[in-house]
Amino acid sequence: MPRNQLRVDPASAAPLWSQIEEGLRRLVASGALAPGAVVPSVRDLARDLRVNPATVSKAYQRLTDAGVLEVRRGDGTYVSAAPPALPRAERARALREGAMRYASLAATFGIPRDESVDELRAAWTELGRGRKGETS
Amino acid sequence: MNADTALPPLACEGLSVRYGATAVLENLTFAVPAGCVYALLGRNGAGKSSLVRCLTGQMRASAGRALLFGRDVWRDRASLMARVGVVPEEPDAPPELSAAGLVRLTARLHERWDVAGAQERLRRFDVPLGTRFARLSKGQKGAVMLTLALGHEPELLILDDPTLGLDVLAREAVFGEVIGELADRGTTVLVTTHDLAAIEGIADRIGILRDGRLVVDEALETAKERFALPLERIFADVTAPAAGGSR
């Protein structure tokens, strides 16, 4: 995994393990971490991020349970060959919740609707740099 | 494995320290479970140093007990401290000895001691092995103290403000070594520090001392949730002088 792609903010209100979990999910979603790619050991990532190894372990455990990562015994941790697909209804619900969170955030900051939609397009473009053929 | 692994490696039971009429520590009760990184915070004069002295068997409590692995450290200092590594607030070693000499000397004092691992660690810290201790920089002295504290692979590591007066790189090196130790051995750690930003990612639990009393003792994650604040703000709020109080 390229260094500095995963950042965490210990001062943030979000627990560190969830920041690491989200960050890795994002790297997998963008293709920056391809299926089958090796992820750093708990020890190395903990040292890089300056966090407690138990925190990294917790994030890895959750991602392994969710089928995003897989542990090969005695070998290391890898991105799953085929990351799991959620059932359609669950996917739609998660997307709606995420959209609501994003829209609320934009509204809280007083950002106009068009500007917030532009920001969303820019995010898709950003993701597209790691994954071909899914953006216009 | 020891028979007493279920006991917390470090605990205080009603620990009080008084000098005459002055109470320095008031009835402290808390425990650090195995594998936990416990950050003990407090402003100068809050009682951190006295607590560390009690926990390392250098000071006798006026009341209550300081326990290591379930046993009173004041009564059993030698056998208990063999399982503990301590990095004191002020680096302290014979000034004429080199880092290599200090490693040899310390190794002789223990039944088993990892000399090769210590030399490797000193190389990672960029500490010259042949230079007299007195001539090392503050950061290098701290690195030597941490190396000496870890050589016997202690079950419990007590760090008394290990990054005080160090620059950013030296601080990162110290915490990097501690993180490696946590990953490899699951060492239990008690750390007193002013370096809230560095400890925020590492601590499992925090204790905040104010005027000799433990006013916060909880998991860092739940404290942040409860206060909805980063550690630095929690610390500032909890230790701020009471508003409108009389002088």
Q: What is the pLDDT of residues B114-135, one digit of tens each?
A: 999 999 999 999 999 999 999 9
Span B56-80, average pLDDT: 95
pLDDT at A135: 43
pLDDT averaged over every residue in chain B: 91
pLDDT at A3: 56
**B72 and chain A: CB distance < 8 Å anywhere?**
no
What whole-number distance in Å separates Cα of residue A34 and Cα of residue B118? 38
Residue B228 has pLDDT above 90, yes or no: no
Give yes or no for B197 touching A (CB within 8 A). Answer: yes
pLDDT higher than 80, residue B227: yes
Contact B179 A11 (CB under 8 A): no
State the pLDDT confidence band at A13, using cuts at 50, 70 and 90. Answer: confident
- A58-67, B49-58, B129-138, B221-230: least confident range: B221-230
Comparing CA positions, the residue from B106, B214, B88 lying closest to residue B159 is B88
In chain A, the residue whose alpha carbon lies closest to the alpha carbon of B201 is A51
CB B83 within 8 A of CB B68: yes
C-alpha–C-alpha distance, residues B235 and A84, integer Å: 42
**Sign of the CA dihedral with B187 first, then A65, A5, and A92 last:** negative
Q: Strand B22-32 and strand B10-19: pairing?
A: antiparallel
Does the pLDDT of residue A133 top 70, yes or no?
no
Q: Does the beta-carbon distance from B201 to A54 stay under 8 Å? A: no
Higher-pLDDT residue of A134 and B29 is: B29
Name chain A contacts of B198, Cβ cutoff 8 Å: 50
Q: Find out whether B165 and B171 touch, Cβ atoms under 8 Å.
A: no
Q: Which of B124, B179, B222, B232 should we substitute to test contact with A (largest number of A Cβ atoms within 10 Å)?
A: B179
B217, amino acid identity: D
Q: What is the pLDDT of residues B186-199, one digit of tens each?
A: 999 999 998 888 89
d(CA A72, CA A25): 19
- State the pLDDT at residue A11: 85
Q: What one-letter code names the amino acid at B66?
A: A
Determine whether the interchain pair A51/B184 forms a contact, defined as Cβ–Cβ distance below 8 Å.
Answer: no
Predicted pLDDT at B195: 85
Query: Are B200 and A11 within 8 A, CB to CB?
Result: yes
Q: State residue A103's pLDDT score.
A: 93
Residues of A in contact with B174 (CB under 8 A): none
Q: How far apart are CA B176 and CA B199, in angstroms?
A: 11
pLDDT bucket at A82, cuts 50 / 70 / 90: confident
Which residue from B minimizes the CA distance to A57? B183
pLDDT at B5: 55
How wide is the angle at C-alpha B176 spanned by C-alphas B175 and B178, nearest 5°?
60
- Looking at the complex, report in whole angstroms how far the Cα of residue A50 sits from the nearest Cα belonging to chain B: 6
Measured CA angle at A50 (ends A81, A55), to 5 deg: 55
Beta bridge partners, B86, equal: B158
- Nearest CB to B182; choose among A12, A15, A53: A53
Query: Which member of A13, A49, A50 has the closest CB to residue B224?
Result: A13
Paired tokens of B59: 């000071």
Check CB contact of B204 with chain A, cutoff 8 Å. Answer: yes
- The partner residue sitting opposite A46, judged by closest CB among B183, B225, B228, is B183
In chain B, which among 224-243 make CB contacts under 8 A with chain A?
224-225, 228-232
Residues 6+ apart with CB under 8 A from B149: B85, B86, B87, B157
Give the max Cα distance, chain B.
Answer: 58
- Tokens matching residue B128: 């010259």
pLDDT tens digits, one per residue of B2-37: 444 579 999 999 999 998 889 999 999 999 999 999
Q: Are A83 and A68 in contact (CB under 8 A)?
A: yes
